[in-house]
Amino acid sequence: MTLIKPSGYRNLLENVENTEKAIKHVKDMFQENLSAQLALLRVTAPMVVLTGTGINDDLNSVERPVSFPIRDMNEQRAEVVHSLAKWKRLKLGEMKVAPGRGIYTDMNALRPDEELDNIHSLYVDQWDWEKVITREQRNIAFLKQTVRRIYEAIKVTENKLYVEFPQLVPSLPEEIHFIHAQQLLDLYPGKKPKERENEIVRQYGAVFVIGIGAALSDGEPHDGRAADYDDWSTPNEEGYNGLNGDLLLWNPVLGNAFEVSSMGIRVDETSLARQLEIRGQQAKRDLYFHKKLLAGELPCTIGGGIGQSRLCMYLLRKAHIGEIQSSIWPESMRRECSEAGIELV
């Protein structure tokens, strides 16, 4: 557990009341901007799904879900979601949504295996979104176009927030920079993945790192991804593997690269089978979600999650995610934060 305590930190919004008002502004404005940019309909989503269906996300394939038996269903087990990548795709299929349109939802999750620090909490809240695409749109050009639209939604929100709270001066660059994880490794071969991110995001201010999950030339992935939602193995038109990535912003308060979104074009039948084999998880082929996808019964999609508390934290210039959301923190962290002028709610 590491804690960054910025020297001379203070709450630019002065008090909790102003902070809460600003949080509402961000959440109201951003979801409207995102919906307009990507043609998304808001839907209601579950907090729990049934265990053993393959619907819950594995994230890095090691995180344990919070699970419990359901008395009225013969003790069948359910689990709190990690995120909703697979559920959203099933929902789009059920709704028969046409290519070019999609859905978004307020996703609330519990991730008890998170290492608690300035940006990681047990409680995760994000705008989970998913959009139907054609098979022809499963390419890097379309991925980049979508990322630019999301980045524009963030910039518009930042500028509107400045009108309401002039002390929150906009800092995002006009354009977002794209780089593949292999290119990033080639630029900084002696550095660890997070160190590489810091170097490139410090330089450009806003960066989308493509190809998260596949092994790079050093034999290691840039970061973990489950085998069954993002497509990280398909060769793309730029000569690398992967149709997914992370959206990173330079955080002037914490002085590091700050991830606000993980997203990508989702696996199709071919890439799912390939990625399950790479990870040695062929047994998942028999799960409900995976059988439907392998049978060609689900639409091609692009989707991801955008952290609500993360985005608020960035735009409101906060040092700790606990200034945005109410969660559980070690007493030692609360004490250190208080001494550093960081007020956890």
Q: Radius of gyration (Cα) for the chain, nearest Å?
A: 20
- The verdict on whether 228 is a catalytic residue reads no
d(CA 78, CA 128): 20
Q: 246, 261, 268, 325: which is the annotated catalytic residue?
A: 246
- Hey, what are 222's tokens? 């840039």
d(CA 40, CA 99): 11
- The verdict on whether 327 is a catalytic residue reads no
- The verdict on whether 233 is a catalytic residue reads no
- The verdict on whether 126 is a catalytic residue reads yes
Q: 231, 259, 268, 323: which is the annotated catalytic residue?
A: 259
d(CA 229, CA 60): 11
Q: 262, 271, 309, 325: which is the annotated catalytic residue?
A: 262
d(CA 128, CA 125): 9
Cross-strand bridge partners of residue 245: 210, 263
- The verdict on whether 262 is a catalytic residue reads yes
Report whether 206 contacts 199 (CB < 8 A). no
Q: 58, 83, 111, 308: which is the annotated catalytic residue?
A: 111
One-letter amino acid of 288: Y
Residue 159: φ, ψ to 5°: -70, -40
Which of these, 274, 224, 233, lies nearest to 61 by C-alpha position? 224
The SS3 of residue 239 is coil
d(CA 141, CA 341): 44
Q: 31, 83, 121, 126: which is the annotated catalytic residue?
A: 126
H helix or E strand, kind and range, residue 85: helix 85-95
Q: What is the total residue count of the chain? A: 345
d(CA 61, CA 275): 13
- The verdict on whether 246 is a catalytic residue reads yes
Active site residues: 57, 111, 126, 246, 259, 262
